Each structure stands twice: as C-alpha cells, then as structure tokens.
Structure 1
Amino acid sequence: MPSAQRGEDGLYRNPADPSDRPTQGTWAIWSRLLFETQDGAEPRDAIPVHRIGRTELDALDPAANHIIRLGHSSHLLKLRGTYWLIDPVFSERASPVQWAGPKRFHAPPLSLDELPPIDGLVLSHDHYDHLDEATIAYLRERVQRYFVPLGLRARLQAMGVDPQRVSELDWWQGASHAGVQLTAAPAHHFSGRTLWDRNSTLWASWLIQSGEERLYFSGDSGYFQGFKTIGERAGRIDIALLENGAYDSYWPSVHLSPEETIQAFKDLGAQQLYLVHNSTFNLGFHHWRDPMERVADIAERESLPLATPVIGEVLTVGRPRQNVRWWKDLR
C-alpha cells in the first residue's frame, strides 16, 4: 500500500483500488439531499444515553484500556491511566453553522467541562462530523498533544491551537506520547470543509497501541484492499472501531455498507468489532437503525464478536461483556 498520493496540484487522492466504484455527480447528490424524503433516518424515540462523570472515569482500572462512546465517531479513551479523544464533536450540529445542518439525536454523555485533562487528541480528517471547531477551541489549551493527517496542522492553528503541539503524519508514519504508540494508516475517503478546498488535506485511519493491546480506528472509509494490508502490517488488532453509517448507492466508495464493514473486519483479522459513525447525526438516507441491525444479524449468524455500545458505555478492551441490541424497540 503506497503512502498518500498527492498530485502536482497539491491535492490528495486515493490510490487506485479494484474495489472502487464511481460516485454520482455533485448535482445528482445535492438534488437528492434537497428533494428526497428520508423516511426513518431520524429516531422518533429518545436515544439511550449513559451519563458518565469524573468519578466513574477515575475509578476505571489504570492498568487497562477503556473506550467510552461519546456518539457518532467521537470517543474518549482511558489508555492505562492516560486520557485521549478521537474525533471529538460536542456541538449541537455537524455543520459550519449552528443554525442549520445535521442536528444531534442525543446529548453527549458528559459535557466538555466535565472532561479530564486530555493527554492526546487524534483526528481522522477535517469533515464537520469529525473536526468540530467549537470543540477544538474549548480544548486547545487542555490537550497536551494532537495527532493529525497531513495538512491538518494549519486547520488547528487557525482554530487557535499552538502548532508546536501538533504531530502531522503521512500514512504509515508513527509517533508516540504518554506511553501510547500511534500510526497513521490508509483510508479510502476525501476531505474538505468548503466547496473550494476538497482534498487539500489528508484523511487517515489510526492504529493505537497501549501496552500489549492495539486498537484500530477506521475514521471514514469506503471498502478497499488496504484493510488487508493494515491487518497484515499490524500483526494483531485487539479491537477494530469500524465506521458503519451514512452509506449510499450514490457514494458507494466513501462509506462502508454493513456487509462491507463485516468484510473489512475480517480483512483486518481483528479480535472484536466495534461499530461507529451511527446513531448521532442524520447523514444518509437509510433508516437510523439499519447500520447496526444488519451488522448484528450477520454477526449473530457467523458468531462474530460484536460491540454496539450504548452512548456513554465503557468498553474495557479484552474483558468479557454482553452485547445487546439497545435500539431494537426504538422507533
């Protein structure tokens, strides 16, 4: 798997992949977004949220690795006593403005001012549902170190972050901080925050190693052969946080369908599958329960180790837990 491909125009591109399928044109996609009804794309009932506070966080075993689901792709990690954030979005909307755009289905399980001091913050790419300016502005003096793909240092600097605190990585480059090893890995996606800066920054997935355990976070990605390469190079992945939501036939190579999420998990050779990128924002046309239900059905048939945690739930890597379909009776 080559590193990121950057053309003479300075824009990043996905390397050619036999799994790639064409995306519909911009006009077709916007016409659908503006005029097509999205039946069932938003829940009518309240999404369950487990409120979590500092007392519960501080009581978590400092010798273990813990994942706390904040919603969508946002997670708080406690890695052998150190606190990390992945793609934190605490704003009401995943949008450049807070008066329009996709609105949260639920509140975060804790507020920004309830967060512990953060040792490291990891970003996968610059889309609004992964890089939230208001969240970064609040955290900018409260995070020791930021780990981002190429081009995002300037994004963070514009949001008030000291650029000397930012480690900017190409695919397969690594860094370490507070006893945690990080490697930026390939993903099959795109970037941009306006109509004029598409693909001017890189997108990435991440391998995160704490002690003997290794986590994989896919960021946003369509299915591609790179999942096999990542699994081979990683050697062992204890848990894979794989995106599963906002997929559509109009953009088949941008996000993973449920069946592709299962295949990516198998390609990675991971020990446990953990679903992300659903149940918080309406970013597609499928029913809001569809991503989890379809993956859960396959996992049940094939006896695959699946985690679909409730918002705010703590998952301790490598320890037994009982998975439940918490969405089953919700409308």
Structure 2
Amino acid sequence: MKWMGLGGLATIGGASVAAKANASNHYYTGPESDHFDGTLFFNPDGHEPKGFRDLLRWQFGGGKARWPAERESPFAAAKPEPRVDGDRLVVTMVGHATLLVQTAGLNILTDPVWSPRASPVGFAGPKRITPPGVAFDDLPPIDLVLLSHNHYDHLDIATLRRLHQAHDPQIITPLGNDTIVHREIAAMRVAAHDWGETVRFRDVAVDLEPAHHWSARGAGDRRMALWSAFVVSSQGGKIYVVGDTGFHGGRNYRAAAEKHGGFRLAILPIGAYEPRWFMEHQHQNPREAVEGMRLANAAYAAGHHWGVFRLTDEPVDEPRDHLQAALEAQGVGRERFRAMQPGEAWDVPMAP
C-alpha cells in the first residue's frame, strides 16, 4: 500500500477555476464538476480506493514475494545530453515513475524522486533497491516537471526542493497539488490545472487528461487533490504520460486516442498490481498496459513503476516478464514496448 471535466485553454500563472469557500478540503476549493463533488475528487463511473479493513486483510493475508535488498540495473548510470533538439525524442529512465524526456530543446522530468525512500519519513517506508539511473548532479538543465499526483512515490518534497534550488523548473500538476508543494517550497513555480485544460509552455502544449487513481498524503486528506495523465505535444509528435492508473475498462485510453489521434510514445505504468482484488482499480497490470497502448494508438511505449520500490506483492522482475508475455499474446513487437530500467536511454523512433 502507498504511504499514504472542465475544458478550455489555460496559461502558466492563470487561475484554473473560480474559487469557492470549502473549509473541508485542505488543498482545493472550486465548483463541482463531473469529477469533483464540491469537497472531494472522484473517478467518473469508477471506483474508490479500498478501505482500512481491506488494507488489513491484504497486509496480514500473506502472499508477498521477497525482494532483494539491492538490485543492480543492467545499465550504467546515464549522463544525458544537455539538449535534444528538433523532432528527436530521447527518454532516460531514472527509476520508478521518474523519467527524463528530452525533445524540442526541452528537458522534462516526470514525477521526480531521488530520495532513498518513498515515504514521509526517512527511517521507514518503501526503500529504493536500485540507485537512480541518472545522478542528480548529472541532470541537464530541467525546464519542466510533470507531477501526476501526491502519493509519496510520485511527489517527493525533498527532490522538488533540490530541483528548485538547482534548476528552478516550472511544475505542471492537477488541482490541489500546488498547495502541497507551496506549503514546503513557497517560491517554486507551480501551475495547477484541471482535466481537459491545455497549458502552453514555450514551444509545447501540455494537456491534462483523466487517469483512474486517487490521492492522499496521510489519513485525513484522501481524494482532496486531483490526479491526472498528461499529453505533451511538440514538433516531434505527441507523448502520453501516465503516472498511475487502473485500466478502468480502457475508457481513458479510448478517450485519449479519440481526442489526440494517437501517440508517438506512451509512458505507462506496468507494476504494483498484486493482489488484484486490492489493486485492480488503481494499478493496471502488464497485460492491461499493452491493451492500453493499443487502445491509445501509441506507436511505442515505455514501461515504468516497477523494480525500484517494493509497494505491492508481485516479485521484483515479474512486471518485465509478464509484459513480454503480454506483447507476444497480443501480437505486439517487443521493440515497441520496453520495460525500462534505471540508466536505460531510448532514442525513440518516429511513429511509422
């Protein structure tokens, strides 16, 4: 277990929604929508996360595979290029959900975590078993951070503070997460927006799109901040970035394909999915990730969210192995969908 639409065009620094007094939400006030009831966010026609009784059933029910204390990546730590210009697209795996995306002269990080634990404290919680695939000091200048939601394996204040001090990047994140960041790093540049909004940043457009997930930093703030996927559109094509999601019958993948027409690359989670009775609605498995790639009409896919932090029950390498089996079963070439590992860099081909 993790430690604890509105449409239109928005620009950096602009307000996303009109304010509405609501003392019961710590992070966000605004009007009701098809995924916000005036107090809490929710998945339309979807599922809420399991409750405390189910959590205890899972935690004390057995079935957890043993993970090694350390795991070496087959790739040496990468030293990325300072910039990747034009329509080239290079993706480098740092670890878990943290990837460096370089295209159109921009350096973009997804859900950056360099801390040794995905946890609110330094002495407990899921521990990193593989070092980051890019040393923090070897990062190129970071322009933009896509922050998908507030779980500790995706929103890490210590890392964001280091990025602010060293790079001063712009953050784009769904509603409410700006409050969390600004309470700790008041001067960080954070733009919070709703599903269906488009944000312009230099020569790219970033669309915030639905994902089937949830949010919490502790016991008293469940679903008070929004979660999302992103679509980055540049001269080199479109990139679909999904931090965490349940498959949800493929609903969001179909909608993304219908709206955007398809993608050069989809960055998709493939791990943290067992036991299915507990995780199914929040974390897709590798078979569902392959189906999602196909439904979204993505030419290539990069698999993440596996092999670094032990969050759930499956063996450490099972997501990679099950991904390969799913690709074969669904007739998708292995070269099109990589289960990326720390230090691995991929010069992604243009979509055929």
TM-score (norm 1): 0.88
Matched, 1:203 2:227: yes
Q: What is the alpha-carbon distance in structure 1 between the residues aligned to residue 57 and residue 302 of structure 2?
A: 33
1:148 aligns with 2:179: no
Partner of 1:47: 73
Please give the alpha-carbon distance, in whole angstroms, between the structure 1 residues aligned to 2:183 and 2:83. Answer: 36
Q: Structure 1 105/98 Cα, relative in aligned 2: closer, same or farther at 3 Å? A: same
**How many Å apart are 1:111 and its aligned residue?**
2.4
Counterpart position of 1:213: 237
Distance 1:29 1:15, change over 3 A: same
Spell out, residue by residue over 1:228-280, the C-alpha distance to the aligned partner (whole angstroms, 9 max, x if none).
Answer: 01111011211111111111321310100222112211211111122111111
- Counterpart-to-counterpart distance in 1, 2:68 and 2:200: 39
Match of 1:185 in 2: 209
Q: Deviations over 1:44-77 (max 9, x none)?
A: 6533342122xx4237566512111101110112
Instruction: Summarize the alignment of residues 42-191 of structure 1 with structure 2, pairs less than 5 Å apart.
Output: 42=68, 45-53=71-79, 56-58=80-82, 63-141=87-165, 142-162=167-187, 165-191=189-215
Letter of the structure 2 residue corresponding to residue 129 of structure 1: D
1:303 aligns with 2:303: no
SS in 2 for 1:195: coil
Partner residue of 1:264?
292
Which moves more between the two structures, 58-67 or 304-313? Answer: 58-67
Rate the CA distance shift 1:284–1:215 in 2: closer, same or farther, 3 A.
same
Q: Give the fraction of aligned pairs with identical amino acids, expressed as a percent.
A: 28
Cα pair 1:68 1:76 within 8 Å, conserved: yes
Using the size of structure 2 for normalisation, the TM-score is 0.83
Matches within 5 A, 1:259-298: 259-298=287-326
Name 1:326's counterpart in structure 2: none
Amino acid across the alignment from 2:182: Q
Do the aligned partners of 2:253 and 2:295 also contact (CA within 8 Å) in 1? yes
Tell me what 1:315 maps to: 346
Q: Distance in 2 between matches of 1:83 and 1:133?
A: 20
User: Contact 2:104–2:236 (CA<8 Å) still a contact in 1?
Assistant: no
Deviation, 1:145, is 1.1
Question: Displacement of 1:114 after TM fit?
Answer: 2.4
2:206 and 2:71 mapped to 1: Cα distance?
38
Which has the larger displacement, 248-257 or 145-154? 248-257
Match for residue 281 of structure 2 among 249, 253, 265? 253
SS in 1 for 2:99: strand
Contact 2:269 2:289 in 1 (8 A): yes
Give the whole-Å Cα distance in 2 for the aligned partners of 1:23 and 1:100.
Answer: 23
What letter corresponds to residue 169 of structure 2 in structure 1? Q
Conserved 8 A contact 1:188-1:222: yes
Instruction: Tell me, yes or no, if the aligned pair for 2:271 and 2:305 is still in contact at 8 Å.
Output: yes
In structure 1, the gaps of 5 or more residues are: 321-331
The answer to which of 283-292 and 188-197 deviates more is 283-292
Counterpart-to-counterpart distance in 2, 1:185 and 1:95:
26
**Counterpart-to-counterpart distance in 2, 1:144 and 1:4:** 31
**Aligned counterparts of 1:61 and 1:314: Cα–Cα separation in 2:** 16
Runs of 4+ in structure 1 over 6 Å off: none
Matched residue, 1:242: 268
Does the 8 A contact of 1:43 with 1:288 survive in 2? no
Shift of 1:128: 0.2
Task: Give the letter for the 1:38 counterpart.
Answer: K
Judged with a 3 Å threshold, the aligned counterparts in structure 2 of structure 1 residues 42 and 209 are, in CA distance, closer, same or farther, namely: farther
- Structure 1 counterpart of 2:332, which letter? S
Aligned residues: 313
Asked if 1:13 is matched to 2:73, the reply is no
Q: Which amino acid aligns with 2:41?
A: Y
Contact 1:121 1:143 in 2 (8 A): no
2:258 is matched with which residue? 232
What is the alpha-carbon root mean square deviation over aligned residues? 2.2
What is the distance in 1 between the residues matched to 2:72 and 2:236? 38
